[in-house]
Amino acid sequence: MSSHAAAATLDPHDDPTTTTGIPNKKLLMWAFLASDCMFFGCLISTHLIYRLHPPPGTPSARQVFSIELTSFSTFILLMSSLMMALAVNAIQKGNLKSMRWSLLTTIFFGLIFLGCQVYEFRNFVFEKHLTITNSILGTTFFTLTGTHGLHVLIGVIWLTAMLIYSFTGRLTEKQSIDVESMGLYWHFVDIVWIVIFTAVYLLEYI
Amino acid sequence: MEALAKTDFIAKDDQPAKPLVLWRPTAKTGLISWLTTVDHKRIGFLYGLSALFFFIFGGLEALAIRLQLAVPNNTFLTSAQYSEMFTMHGTTMIFLVVMPMGAAFFNFIMPLQIGARDVAFPRLNAFSFWTFVVGAIVLNIGWFTKDGAPDAGWFGYAPLTTRTFSPTHAIDMWVMGLQLLGVASIAAALNFIVTIINMRAPGMTMMRLPVFTWMTLFTSFLIVLSFPAITIALIEIMMDRLFGTNFFEVSSGGLPILWQHLFWIFGHPEVYILILPAMGIISEILPTFSRKPLFGYPIVVFSGASIGFLGFGVWSHHMFTTGMGTTATAAFSMMTMAIAVPTGVKIFNWIGTLWGGHITMRTPMMFAIGFLWMFMLGGLSGIMHSAAPADAQQHGSYFIVAHFHYVLIGGSLFALFAGIQYWFPLMFGRMISEFWGKVTFWLVFVGFNVTFFPMHFLGLEGMPRRTFTYDANMGWATGNLFATIGAFILAIGVATFFISMIYAFFKGERAHKDQWDGRTLEWSLPVPPPEYNFAVIPTVHARDGWWYAKKHASEIAKETAEHAKEDEAHGGIHMPNQSIYPFLASVGILIGAIGVAVVDHDPSPGFWGTKVAITILGGAIMFVSVLLWACEGADGFHIHLNADGSVREDGGHH
């Protein structure tokens, strides 16, 4: 304890009330993310197994995908991670105003990503005639990327709720762990997208 | 500075803005108090009660199965009813009996064993329980609708579960029910992981944790890492059924074998989810009644860890007959043999604990020793299955039925019964009658063996599983009649257990504190334990913490008095507030699940209709509840203990 008192600022990485010093909420989020790893692992495996056995006459992924658009939305999602990190940093220093701007940008980037996905889905269904029912590629592609999109959507709702909550005056640097664990979730969703981008999109161009 | 460094959960000396609370329930008795409870002991009790309730259902289903098979060409059940019976018997016993009974002990006992006043996230814990109830309801709704109960086996193999072969909502309910039970289990397991890692009393290092707590931790990790596999499998089959996707549609390139892989990647760790808590209970009971510390504590712990680890690498031994290829079959064969090693190590450690001990034959001890013997028998037939050529003969026969009932009844259930007998005095402050306890044991033990031992022979004689009747000339009549008689002896034993338990709950002999002269911290508490568990958080000085405290009474008394003063200076005992939102969130989930799984598809094309409306309504209720839950915050109030032990509550809630 004495070392903390000497430091004179709140150390967000240490919680003296828990056995390990790791805040409970952070540990919970890490354990949940381990679970979510298995979740996406199974879904991505399904896609990778099924892409090896396309029945004749189904559209090939390369004809359908538009790598330029997906590369752009991937970049945007990565930038949202940067803004998320800045938001966590700001609240840990007690800088609410800076945190709000960072959160707002994160939400904005998240929405751009979702917008790109909606555009992509509509384009695939109406222009390229790839639907969730007409081929195994459509089945695994829409289920996998749709599930990821749902994760992003939940993240955006969470971010928005936190942004609104910050105006009630109840969010201070003492509650920075709430923003930090939300950040862990957001970064995880981004990392999963990197894996999906590689395993679902880039793989088709090798 | 001290105050600043504390989290909200423990104490807050200054008063920040008031949390956004609509309603703060404070009832201590009555229905509202149970719906809003966040007390791990009450939630544990609710889990146990639900498990025993569904145990009656699962048992009746088993009796119906046995009645149908008692004589050749019986017509007690139709083949369709028989399919419902074995499907719901398996699903109920695994997800609604053994798992929640384990969860009951995790909830009630584990926080007491590590010297904590509650779990890390009390409201999440309540949510886990209510979602479990919701899952159980959705699973069983079919009995009361025109669609009937799920009937595709507890494993739900695709393509049997696709819309082509199971067009009614029965399978939708099975899918949705299991999905929700998964959510409940994962939420509970996350909570236990954080609790065990982060809420230990001072001095309670990891290598001082009671073995039951260790097994809770391993089980929780298995749940967290294995349930996502079935979640995905269930999502895929649900997509196929609701939206016409092609995951298991062979004509469009789907592979039904994928279901088997995903299911058993979950299904095999699930087996260890059912047995590790049992091993933990046994590791508490054997030392207590042998009056010796557990033999080879670190080895028992590491064996548990290696069982959990290897448990993820053996799933394909359920699929030896699917033609995976020689390499895969050989690899999974070898892994399966390997996993027997840590299990065998544990058995020897338990025997080592008994060796040279002062053994007292009380009812929990009899069930524990029964466990050792019966679980070993089940383990031996299990090793036989690891040899793929032998398994090819036994696969899908009654030999398998015999094997897994020996590990699930002779293993899990014997240990859970032992646990109930062992911790009953602590939980309720009353004793289950020793005489009736022993009668229970012998009835259960004899009934169990008469039921399941003949099944080994039936299986080797070629009787297939899941067959609703057989001809008299097959040579299976005697074994089946034996098994049915045994099932009724077993049922009488279970009934005796229930009656003696209910009698003990209301009228049993009063237990005293530390009834069995125990070694672990839960026995340091008054019986039944008060709401706040520990008046003063204990400091742990040795592996068998309470045993050490008893042997060093004066030293510990001085330490406790000091800590009591410190606690009071910090504002007293912190208690979490009750909350209705976990319950409301689960109600929302129930409505949404009924929308997805029970309501008929709308005949007219278009998006909007009753089904979608009900689903969205449920989702909205859940969303609003979770939002209010978050806004309410994880705060609590403080209580102070008077010298005479009575409780004084702090005025303001914070």
Residues of chain A contacting B636 with CB distance shorter than 8 Å = none
The pLDDT of residue A57 is 82
B122 to A64, B119, B128, B136, B558: CA distances (angstroms): 48, 6, 10, 22, 32
List the single residue in A24, A39, A50 with the smallest CB-CB distance to B228.
A39
- Interatomic CA distance for residues A198 and B460, integer angstroms: 50
Q: What type of residue sits at position B634? A: A
Q: pTM higher than 0.90 for the full model?
A: yes
Contact: A16, B5; criterion CB under 8 Å? yes
Name which of A2, A30, A136 to mutate to probe chain B: the one with the most chain B Cβ atoms within 10 A of its Cβ. A136
The lowest-confidence range among B73-82, B247-256, B437-446, B601-610 is B601-610
pLDDT, tens digit (0-9, with 9 covering 90-100), for B341-360: 999 999 999 999 999 999 99
Estimate the share of chain B in helix, then strand, then coil, as percent rounded to the nearest 5: 70, 5, 30
Q: Is the pLDDT of residue B473 over 50?
A: yes
- Interatomic CA distance for residues B617 and B611, integer angstroms: 10
Q: Is B2 on the interface with A (CB under 8 A)?
A: yes
Band (B647; pLDDT cuts 50, 70, 90): confident
Q: Is B14 on the interface with A (CB under 8 A)?
A: no
Mean pLDDT of B578-585: 95
Is CATH 1.20.120.80 correct for A23-205? yes
Which residue of A lies nearest to B114 if distances are taken between CA atoms?
A19
Band (B16; pLDDT cuts 50, 70, 90): low
The lowest-confidence range among B17-21, B134-138, B481-485 is B17-21
Q: Is the pLDDT of residue B4 over 50?
A: no
DSSP state at residue B637: E
Contacts of B160 (CB under 8 A, 6+ apart): B152, B153, B166
Contact: B252, A46; criterion CB under 8 Å? no
The pLDDT of residue B642 is 79
List the single residue in B17, B197, B244 with the smallest CB-CB distance to A133.
B244
* Residue, of B603 and B170, whose pLDDT is higher: B170
Chain B closest-CA separation from residue A10 CA (Å): 6
Q: Is the pLDDT of residue B370 over 90?
A: yes
Domain parsing of chain B, residue ranges: 37-534
Band (B17; pLDDT cuts 50, 70, 90): low
Contact: A19, B198; criterion CB under 8 Å? yes
The values of phi and psi at residue B18, to 5°, are: -65, 140
Compute the mean pLDDT over every residue in chain A, rounded to the nearest whole number. Answer: 92
- Joined together, the tokens standing for residue A201 give 């999109």
B337 to B81, B190, B330, B371: CA distances (angstroms): 38, 30, 11, 21
Band (B530; pLDDT cuts 50, 70, 90): very high
Chain B closest-CA separation from residue A70 CA (Å): 24
B627 to B604, B623, B631: CA distances (angstroms): 35, 6, 6
pLDDT, tens digit (0-9, with 9 covering 90-100), for A48-99: 999 998 888 888 899 899 999 999 999 999 999 999 999 999 999 999 999 9
B197 to A176, B184, B194: CA distances (angstroms): 21, 20, 5
- Interatomic CA distance for residues B94 and A94, integer angstroms: 49
Please count the residue pairs, one from chain A and one from chain B, whose beta carbons lie less than 8 angstroms apart: 142
Q: State whether the Cα torsion B336-B341-B347-B350 is positive or negative.
A: negative
Contact: A49, B262; criterion CB under 8 Å? no
Mean pLDDT of B485-498: 97
Cβ–Cβ under 8 Å, residues B304 and B214: yes
- Interatomic CA distance for residues B143 and B156, integer angstroms: 18
The pLDDT of residue B629 is 93
The pLDDT of residue A9 is 52
Band (B650; pLDDT cuts 50, 70, 90): low
The pLDDT of residue A12 is 66
- Interatomic CA distance for residues A196 and A188, integer angstroms: 12
Mean pLDDT of B613-632: 94
- Interatomic CA distance for residues B631 and A170, integer angstroms: 10
Mean pLDDT of A9-31: 85
Instruction: Report the percentage of chain B scoring pLDDT > 70.
Output: 96
- Interatomic CA distance for residues B395 and B318, integer angstroms: 8
Which residue of B lies nearest to A31 if distances are taken between CA atoms?
B190
- Interatomic CA distance for residues B214 and B194, integer angstroms: 13
Contact: B9, A24; criterion CB under 8 Å? yes
- Interatomic CA distance for residues B568 and B13, integer angstroms: 13
The pLDDT of residue B570 is 79
Chain A closest-CA separation from residue B644 CA (Å): 29
The values of phi and psi at residue B641, to 5°, are: -100, 130
List the single residue in B193, B229, B233 with the smallest CB-CB distance to A31.
B193
The pLDDT of residue B6 is 42
Q: How far is CA A118 from the centre of its chain?
A: 16
ipTM associated with this complex: 0.93
B37-534: what CATH class? mainly alpha
- Interatomic CA distance for residues A103 and A155, integer angstroms: 11
The pLDDT of residue A10 is 59
Cβ–Cβ under 8 Å, residues B282 and B415: yes
* Residue, of A2 and B352, whose pLDDT is higher: B352
pLDDT, tens digit (0-9, with 9 covering 90-100), for B228-267: 999 999 999 999 999 999 999 998 889 999 999 999 999 9
Q: Which residue matches tokens 């089904």? A: B611
Which residue of B lies nearest to A34 if distances are taken between CA atoms?
B225
Q: Is the pLDDT of residue A193 over 70?
A: yes
Residues of chain B contacting A10 with CB distance shorter than 8 Å = 4-5
- Interatomic CA distance for residues A91 and B502, integer angstroms: 54
- The secondary structure of B451-509, three-state, reads HHHHHHHHHHCCCECCCCCCCHHHCCHHHHHHHHHHHHHHHHHHHHHHHHHHHHHHHCC
List the single residue in A53, A139, A165 with the smallest CB-CB distance to B245.
A139
Q: Is the pLDDT of residue B152 over 80?
A: yes
Residues of chain A contacting B8 with CB distance shorter than 8 Å = 174-175
Query: For residues B557-590, b (16+ Cβ closer than 10 Å) or e, as one string?
Result: eebbeebeeebeebbbbbbbbbbbbbbbbbbbbb
Q: Is B624 on the interface with A (CB under 8 A)?
A: no
The lowest-confidence range among A78-87, A181-190, B540-549, B567-576 is B567-576
Residues of chain A contacting B199 with CB distance shorter than 8 Å = 18-19, 24
Contact: A19, B254; criterion CB under 8 Å? no
List the single residue in A4, A32, A177 with the smallest CB-CB distance to B5.
A4
**C-alpha torsion angle, residues B315, B320, B321, B327 (rounded to 10):** 120
Cβ–Cβ under 8 Å, residues A195 and A47: no
The pLDDT of residue A172 is 87
List the single residue in A20, A49, A172 with the smallest CB-CB distance to B198.
A20
* Residue, of B6 and B477, whose pLDDT is higher: B477
Domain parsing of chain A, residue ranges: 23-205
In 3D space, the residue among B476, B464, B402, B456 whose CA is nearest the CA of residue B72 turns out to be B476
Q: Is the pLDDT of residue B14 over 50?
A: no
Mean pLDDT of B621-642: 89
Residues of chain A contacting B9 with CB distance shorter than 8 Å = 17, 24
Q: Is B207 on the interface with A (CB under 8 A)?
A: no
